[in-house]
Amino acid sequence: MRATLLYAADDVRVEDVADPKIQNPTDAVVRIVLSCICGSDLWPYKSLPPSDQPRRMGHEFLGVVEETGSEVRGFEPGDVVVAPFVWADNTCVYCREGLQTSCLNGGGWGVNGVDGGQGQAARVPYADGTLVKLPVGEDSELLPDLLTLSDILCTGYHAARTAGVEGGDSVAVIGDGAVGLAAVMSAKLLGAERIVLMGRHTQRTDLGRDFGATDVVAERGDEGIAKVRELTGGEGAHKVLECVGLKDALVQSFGVVRDGGTISRVGVPQSADVPFGVGDFMRNITLTGGVAPARAYIEELMPHILSGALRPGRVFDRTVALDDISDGYRAMNDREALKVLVRP
Amino acid sequence: MRATLLYAADDVRVEDVADPKIQNPTDAVVRIVLSCICGSDLWPYKSLPPSDQPRRMGHEFLGVVEETGSEVRGFEPGDVVVAPFVWADNTCVYCREGLQTSCLNGGGWGVNGVDGGQGQAARVPYADGTLVKLPVGEDSELLPDLLTLSDILCTGYHAARTAGVEGGDSVAVIGDGAVGLAAVMSAKLLGAERIVLMGRHTQRTDLGRDFGATDVVAERGDEGIAKVRELTGGEGAHKVLECVGLKDALVQSFGVVRDGGTISRVGVPQSADVPFGVGDFMRNITLTGGVAPARAYIEELMPHILSGALRPGRVFDRTVALDDISDGYRAMNDREALKVLVRP
């Protein structure tokens, strides 16, 4: 089959790789119908040192079950399924608590002999634990929306949930990327009263307004902080959803959060340097979040998509064929595209 | 009156200062019956540069109301009262949420013309908001226990509450100082099943066992982390209460906390350097806590002291007269004494 390989920064190729096969009785093989490129794929795309051992790319996909191992009980060939961006047995002590990202037997896509999501098919370990059935056909118009259950919608929702967003809250969302926009949508779903989206790209922030942002602040740094404070009666936001991962975004988060408030970060941190000073301690600021256990939220969020109440698939503003995926990477990296769908 | 002044590291003096007087109609003047020395007093005691403007010391006291301003409604001369370690109006938006440490009109003891707690008397700003009446006489044997409502019991409780300690939790408490021991007691009160106290001073950890610690780990660093993990089924503790404030203690906290767990720190951080790495992000660790709004917890905790269920005053293992307070500082700094009572 064809799959996406990253050889070095700026060197994405689609090549022939081994067809996936059942290796363990708990595996399934899924023919991929729709995949996409993630903001987090851009970090290695920007920086990976050249190597003879290219990296298999992609961790967001949905598709059709082609084959199941002898111990798979919940799926059969023909089922349309979505996979979260981490596979997991969904039975261990962490999975039972909804922390599938810490599954004792789980792991990531594209590493250790597991296929990536940007290809024509994938072997899915622990299929019963990992996959979730989608009650639609593989030609459904909802597929782009449902694909966001793989990562970005659940990641934005994780930010809002771990921040404890609740009715009446003021929420600041840092970052107008796909996850930031999903965080806006999630904050609204949880009843936030005021949702301030901090971002500079008008097309994206306009979509953020559609998703529920009550205000947009384009300014950054001290000026942006002052604006958010002005919008929140001088106090700052009860909850801040940090959807970027850069230190500046975290500094901004501490600047806009209200005393006693919570910052939840879901953008993969690009530095271990956390600017959490004594002043923030005196203000009783909480820093939470982390990599999102998407699997924990899929069943909860899917009905909102099926009913049409949530349309997170609107973040996809470009579609490429698998063989043209390098153009998709380039477009996202150049900020020409917000998020790119890939059709194998 | 006599009051405690810190002129420089290792230079504590008791001198005559102006008698407190009502300055604002919301003030009260309290004759101090019992005070104490705080672990946090030791930081300036170790490090304050010499100055002609000595620092007024002390922020934990109880006593008897001597005089009230014209707008004070809740107290009258003769009332026995305890003061939390931050004064506050208890009516502003933050106070109403139980975050009196962020009171819009509040402040600390010993600064900006407000008396410290280690003296014979104190003017109490916003007396109605700040003080809490104690239903005992000034000769009560419970006074040392009740004095801990001023700071350490509420601070330990804040750690446990903000960490979200609940029935069945495993809790690690870092630090066997007075706040650590209060955190042990608080974790037990909130239903923790396993309470691992990390500390090296046998007398203190023995008291910790009396307060509810199920295990004591004397080792530090990697060895200490391994022991706690062994005691918690290899997983680590659900909640970690960091009651020291040094970076090593925070590093240890990240080491012993379970995936998805929470670290609450209440020891005043002695550095802004927070070792919150990408690995901790991938494990979904939450960092919470902060300076404790003691005022928020006094009414809730007092009944446990009055009933004899909690005896936090056992942390006091030495008593000095006010004029001998420098000996108390020395004893605490040399770890001869755990916590020192001061009788004006």
Measure in Å the smallest separation between the Cα of B250 and chain A Cα atoms. Answer: 12
Confidence class of residue B141 from pLDDT cuts 50, 70 and 90?
very high
Q: Which of B259, B262, B271 to mutate to test the interface with A (most CBs of A within 10 A)?
A: B259
Q: Would you call B261 an interface residue with chain A, using a CB distance cutoff of 8 Å?
A: no
Over residues B172-180, the mean pLDDT reads 97
b/e A89-128 (16+ beta carbons within 10 angstroms → b): bbebebbeeebbbbbebbeebbeeebbbbbbbbbbbbbbb
Q: Would you call A234 an interface residue with chain B, using a CB distance cutoff of 8 Å?
A: no
Residue B95 reports pLDDT greater than 90: yes
Which chain A residues in 78-97 lie under 8 Å from chain B, judged by CB atoms? 93-94, 97
Q: Which of A99, A269, A286 sits opposite B278 (nearest CB)?
A: A269
Over residues B121-130, the mean pLDDT reads 98
Q: Is the ipTM of this complex over 0.85?
A: yes
Q: Which of A85, A170, A287, A297 to mutate to test the interface with B (most CBs of B within 10 A)?
A: A287
pTM, 2 dp: 0.97
Average pLDDT, chain B: 97
Q: Which of B101, B281, B288 sits opposite A290 (nearest CB)?
A: B281
**pLDDT mean values, one per 10 residues, chain A (344 residues):** 97 97 98 97 94 94 98 98 98 98 98 97 98 98 98 98 98 98 98 98 97 97 97 97 94 97 93 88 98 98 98 98 98 96 97
Residue B270 reports pLDDT greater than 90: no
Q: Would you call B290 an interface residue with chain A, using a CB distance cutoff of 8 Å?
A: yes
**Predicted local distance difference test score (pLDDT) of residue A243:** 97
**Partners of residue A265 in chain B, C-beta under 8 Å:** 281
**Partners of residue A163 in chain B, C-beta under 8 Å:** none
**Partners of residue B290 in chain A, C-beta under 8 Å:** 280-285
Cβ A291–B268 below 8 Å, yes or no? no
**Predicted local distance difference test score (pLDDT) of residue B52:** 86
Q: Which of A102, A274, A284 sits opposite B276 (nearest CB)?
A: A274
- Between A39-48, B85-94, B150-159, B165-174, the lowest mean confidence (pLDDT) is in A39-48
Q: What pLDDT, in 10s, does the model give residues B225-265?
A: 999 999 999 999 999 999 998 999 999 999 999 999 999 99
Measure in Å the smallest separation between the Cα of B101 and chain A Cα atoms. Answer: 8
Cβ A102–B260 below 8 Å, yes or no? yes
**Predicted local distance difference test score (pLDDT) of residue A155:** 98
% of chain B surpassing 70 pLDDT:
100
Over residues B17-45, the mean pLDDT reads 97
**Predicted local distance difference test score (pLDDT) of residue A86:** 98
Cβ pair A325, A4 in contact under 8 A:
yes
**Predicted local distance difference test score (pLDDT) of residue B64:** 98
Q: Would you call B284 an interface residue with chain A, using a CB distance cutoff of 8 Å?
A: yes
Cβ B259–A102 below 8 Å, yes or no? yes
**Predicted local distance difference test score (pLDDT) of residue A268:** 86
Over residues B168-188, the mean pLDDT reads 98
